[in-house]
Amino acid sequence: MLTDTKIKQAKPAEKPYKLFDERGLYLIVTPSGGKWWRLKYYHGGKEKLLALGTYPDVPLRDARERRDDARKKLAAEVDPNAERKAAKQQREDSFEAVAREWCAKFSASWVEEHTTTVIGRLEKNVFPWLGTLPIAEITAPELLTALRRIESRGAVEVARRVNQVCGAVFRYAIATGRASRDVSTDLRGALAPVVEKHHGAVTDPKEVATLMRALNGYQGSFIVRCALRFSALTFARPGEIRKATWSEIDLDNATWRISAERMKMRREHIVPLSRQAVEVLRELRPLTGSGLYVFPGNRSADRAMSENTICAALRYLGYAQGKATAHGFRSTASTLLHEMGWQSDVIERQLAHVEQNAIKGAYNRAEHLPERTRMMQAWADYLDGSEKVVPLRATA
């Protein structure tokens, strides 16, 4: 029989050799110094080996316990190797394993925030209850029970989005041979209806004037004040603004070029910068220009501004969430620019909305750039004069 002392004193040789314990347990000592536990056993008339770990991670006492457990299974006509393989296969075919595999495969085409949101929702709402179950065995009632937990928090829209994600995971499992159907489709009509909500936005010209006065009078952080004004001037998506980098900015040519990787629709986007937007950036550059981000976070210059910062600043200025939001600047600009006569194609392209018509949408990223440049300058001039509610007109 082996002892701990004998195992510790075992030295590597030119070839692997074995140190035997009892009842089929032995240790292989490799030329590189590794020590591997193995159990020799017979099942179905065939000699087989079972790996029991490595020494010293698995000490002699634990190796013997693992041997005894395996021999108990053999006494019950259970092959421990086959059982281990089945357990591994079950883990690989579990909902969580398939979902993470699906996410890893397709997230390369997603923006970072979307990937974080998708996997975060699954980790919080699905994996704790369904993650370990074989995906092929999950039933519609089991999925519904998980979604009901989300609805009970009042997050009705989140429940529907999680069901959509689960549907994509089920369809991926079908395609890879690990499930036969998508049970999420059985929940049509079973989830609570979503009450449509819109991002709070100011669209009345007089209220726009009040909002601009409030932004210009913001007494908090200078970086946040600049971000507020820049948001109003460019009406880009909040995530695009807070993660803007100085390398994307060309002040001499008054353009902000956002890479496809950072855009929601995975298309590079050019934002013409008005004189006012350039002025905001020139004022800010001495403070943040040596770092990566135009609008860094309060705690670290190496991290982008928090996604809640702009909305928190609007709350500080007295605007409730239903009245004004970071995303609401887009609705404000879209509504007023349409009302004031600017072409819809120009506005939609500046909003970086993807053209649904595949042929029309195949134009290059600079489509309507001269018109967009004029529009962005006119919009900035309007905001500057909005205290007098100056009408904005689309001009050639």
269: Cβ contacts below 8 Å, ≥ 6 apart: 240, 257, 258, 263, 352, 365
332-382 pLDDT, tens digit per residue, is 999 899 988 899 889 999 998 765 444 344 444 557 899 999 999 999 999
Residue 130 or residue 108, greater confidence? 130
- Give domain limits for the chain: 4-85, 95-187, 205-388
238-293 pLDDT, tens digit per residue, is 999 999 999 999 999 999 999 888 887 677 889 999 999 999 999 999 999 999 99
Q: Architecture of domain 4-85 in CATH?
A: 2-Layer Sandwich (3.30)
| pLDDT value, residue 122 | 95
Q: Which of 225, 330, 349, 372 is catalytic?
A: 330
| pLDDT value, residue 64 | 95
160-189 pLDDT, tens digit per residue, is 999 999 999 999 999 999 999 999 999 988
Q: Which of 40, 257, 267, 353 is catalytic?
A: 353
Answer whether residue 199 shows pLDDT above 80. no
Annotation says 264 is catalytic? yes
Q: Which of 35, 64, 242, 327 is catalytic?
A: 327
- 10 Å CB burial of residue 117 (0-12, 13-18, 19+) is middle
Q: Which of 237, 262, 269, 349 is catalytic?
A: 237
90-119 pLDDT, tens digit per residue, is 777 899 999 999 999 988 878 777 888 899
Annotation says 67 is catalytic? no
Cβ atoms of 66 and 46 within 8 Å: the answer is no
Q: 140-151 and 112-125 helices cross at what angle (nearest 10)?
A: 110
Question: What distance in Å separates the CA atoms of residue 213 and residue 229, rounded to the nearest whole number?
Answer: 10
Q: Which of 48, 100, 264, 323 is catalytic?
A: 264
Annotation says 363 is catalytic? yes
Q: Look at the pTM and tell me if it is higher than 0.75.
A: no
Confidence of residue 216 (pLDDT cuts 50, 70, 90): confident
Q: Which of 17, 42, 316, 363 is catalytic?
A: 363
Confidence of residue 393 (pLDDT cuts 50, 70, 90): very low
**Which residue, among 277, 259, 274, has the nearest Cα to 372 in the 3D structure?**
274
Q: Architecture of domain 205-388 in CATH?
A: Orthogonal Bundle (1.10)
| pLDDT value, residue 32 | 92
What count of other Cβ atoms lies within 10 Å of the Cβ of residue 268?
Answer: 15
Residues making up the chain, counted from first to last: 396
Annotation says 43 is catalytic? no
Q: Which two tokens stand for residue 176?
A: 């890879």
Provide the residue type at 308 as one letter. Answer: N
| pLDDT value, residue 153 | 87
Question: What distance in Å separates the CA atoms of residue 106 and residue 378, rounded to the nearest whole number?
Answer: 40
**Which residue, among 30, 51, 21, has the nearest Cα to 39 in the 3D structure?**
51
| pLDDT value, residue 87 | 72
SS (H, E, C) the chain: CCCHHHHHHCCCCCCCEEEECCCCEEEEECCCCCEEEEEEEEECCEEEEEEEEECCCCCHHHHHHHHHHHHHHHHCCCCHHHHHHHHHHHHHCEHHHHHHHHHHHHHHHCCHHHHHHHHHHHHHHCHHHHCCCEHHHCCHHHHHHHHHHHHCCCCHHHHHHHHHHHHHHHHHHHHCCCCCCCHHHHHCCCCCCCCCCCCCCCCCHHHHHHHHHHHHCCCCCHHHHHHHHHHHHHCCCHHHHHCCEHHHEECCCCEEEECHHHCCCCCCEEEECCHHHHHHHHHHHHHHCCCCECCECCCCCCCECCCCHHHHHHHHCCCCCCCCCCCHHHHHHHHHHHHCCCCHHHHHHHCCCCCCCCCHHHCCCCCCHHHHHHHHHHHHHHHHCHHHCCCCCCCC
Provide the residue type at 303 as one letter. Answer: R
| pLDDT value, residue 115 | 87
Question: What distance in Å separates the CA atoms of residue 108 and residue 129, rounded to the nearest whole number?
Answer: 27
Annotation says 198 is catalytic? no
Question: What distance in Å separates the CA atoms of residue 128 and residue 123, rounded to the nearest whole number?
Answer: 7
Whole-number mean pLDDT of the chain?
87
Confidence of residue 233 (pLDDT cuts 50, 70, 90): very high
Annotation says 64 is catalytic? no
Cβ atoms of 63 and 48 within 8 Å: the answer is no
Question: What distance in Å separates the CA atoms of residue 25 and residue 85, rounded to the nearest whole number?
Answer: 20
Tell me the CATH class for 95-187.
mainly alpha
